[in-house]
Structure 1
Amino acid sequence: MTGRILHVVTNVGHYDDPEHPTGLWLSELTHAWEVFAEHGFEQTIVSPAGGPVPLEPRALKFPNIDRTAKRWLGGLERMALLERTASPDEIDASEFDAVYFTGGHAVMYDFPDSAGLQRIAREIFESGGVVSSVCHGYCGLLNTRLSDGSLLISGRCMTGFSWREEKLARVDRLVPYDAEAEAKRRGARYTRAALPFVPFTVSDGNLVTGQNPGSAKATARAVVARLAQIRSAQ
């Protein structure tokens, strides 16, 4: 399959308290990237401000890091992609088949109110493409409105990092808001796995979402499957 995927990453490097660093949860990018590459997709990375992307320190330590993420860390070419990400105004949404919002707690700060990211998601969705997210990536969809003024996630089934998982990760006092509650408040039909931190993905038409870091591969595969369905129907 040929086509193009747009990955969305953060530019934020810490919580409200600068003494607590955060950033991109690297495996959420690398796992999906690997799946899309296996299916022949061209891939581009964008961030709200463009430029460098900080990495979540906890994602780079055992047991969170794996061979895929290590390969990125050890590759100058791949790491360079995270030093020169595109800004939204450089992106023509019509050139992409799907957008994939990565996570890490940092995205809770710079994803929700990015007009550029909202434009990209809206244009891809309304042109019949796939909008997807994993973990906290759904924060980038909280305020995204379609051309008719309705919220993209309103009335649609979806998932994302749960409040229960925030508590178990011991960051519930650091995060700026409860993303699960905010999604529900906007009319999303939020659901989650029975157990925390297990892979869980929800597809509702052209909206595909994954609950946590362990869901990245399954989410990417669901995006690929949905794109195949779209193409077969054309």
Structure 2
Amino acid sequence: MTWIVVPVLALALLAILTYLFLPRLLNVLGIHRHYTIPDFDLNGRRALVICTNHDRLDPSNKKTGAFGSEFTVPYYAFVNAGLAVDIASPKGGSIPIQPGSWSWPLASEDDKRFMADKKAMHDLQNSKAVGDLVPKDYDVIFMAGGWGAAYDLMQSEELADFITRANAENKILGSVCHGALGLCGATGLDGEPLVKGRRVTGVTNNQINTFGIAITPKHPEEELRKLGAIFECQHAFRDPFATHTTIDGNLITGQNQNSGYETAHRILEKMATQRNV
């Protein structure tokens, strides 16, 4: 029976090693690469994190939603800095989660913390409707990505109006990945597209093609370029392992799911230089 036992034990050992070390290998390659956000004391400030309501990839009908770390990482960066954080969406109510983003091997430590946080989970399932909010109540408005965002962030008139008004009040506007689509419907003080002539980033066409989701209706790189934005990004042997953060005045944007840490850091850094009003 030894000739049976040895291969079985070898396979079991391989499975254990894969389970233990694959997440770390992905970190080394660039997925949620370790990044330390310094301490900030911003008690009394407020942040709004906006996610998608869309839960299906049309026309395949596969489940989609918001990508876990793209909202959990900034959420806890803001919480750790003393901010009160609200969660919103174009329609309000339940925010779906992109399958796989909250499970092995992709789930980040902030994802796990969020899933165990009763208040955070309640707010995720009972998000505020953007149309019911006013920008003056927040110091920063941050838009998370996930493939579902391709279906409703740019298409939402309520979100476009909210971001337009927030920009007029010089609020910090942040995003990662597909979240940049939330900037695309807004206008600046001159009546031109908000992103026109501005340095911004978001998920690349290359990454979208790598994941085979070109069926989605809006692609951040394409839409931002169409509106006259100066689109910046980094490439890797596969773009899902790249990261980049861009700062242009009150716009602070991150390229993809790996960019939440630095993007949140730069937002907090800018907030620390502003007077609390």
TM-score by length of 2: 0.79
Contact 1:97 1:124 in 2 (8 A): no
Instruction: Supply the distance in 2 between the matched residues of 1:59 and 1:99 (Cα, whole angstroms).
Output: 22
Residue 122 of structure 1 and its aligned partner are, at CA, apart by: 1.6
Partner of 1:156: 198
Partner of 1:84: 126
Within 5 Å, give how 1:64-213 maps onto structure 2: 64-172=106-214, 174-195=215-236, 196=239, 197-213=241-257
Gaps of 5+ in 2: 1-41
Partner of 2:259: 215
Instruction: Supply the distance in 2 between the matched residues of 1:227 and 1:191 (Cα, whole angstroms).
Output: 23
Instruction: Supply the distance in 2 between the matched residues of 1:51 and 1:230 (Cα, whole angstroms).
Output: 32
C-alpha offsets along residues 6-25 of structure 1, whole Å, 9 cap, x if unaligned?
11011110111253111010
- Secondary structure at the counterpart of residue 70 of structure 1: helix
Instruction: Supply the distance in 2 between the matched residues of 1:19 and 1:126 (Cα, whole angstroms).
Output: 38
Instruction: Supply the distance in 1 between the matched residues of 2:60 and 2:93 (Cα, whole angstroms).
Output: 20
Q: Say yes or no: does 1:29 pair with 2:71.
A: yes
Q: Say yes or no: does 1:226 pair with 2:270.
A: yes
Gaps of 5+ in 1: none
Contact 1:199 1:218 in 2 (8 A): no
Q: Amino acid of the residue matched to residue 13 of structure 1?
A: D
Residue 166 of structure 1 and its aligned partner are, at CA, apart by: 0.8
Instruction: Supply the distance in 1 between the matched residues of 2:167 and 2:91 (Cα, whole angstroms).
Output: 22
TM-score by length of 1: 0.93
Which is further off, 202-211 or 111-120? 111-120
**Which of 22, 27, 46 lines up with 1:4 in the alignment?**
46
Q: Amino acid of the residue matched to residue 191 of structure 1?
A: E
Q: CA RMSD in A?
A: 1.6
Residue 177 of structure 1 and its aligned partner are, at CA, apart by: 3.5
Distance 1:177 1:115, change over 3 A: closer
- Secondary structure at the counterpart of residue 82 of structure 1: helix
Contact 1:201 1:215 in 2 (8 A): yes
Instruction: Supply the distance in 1 between the matched residues of 2:50 and 2:247 (Cα, whole angstroms).
Output: 19
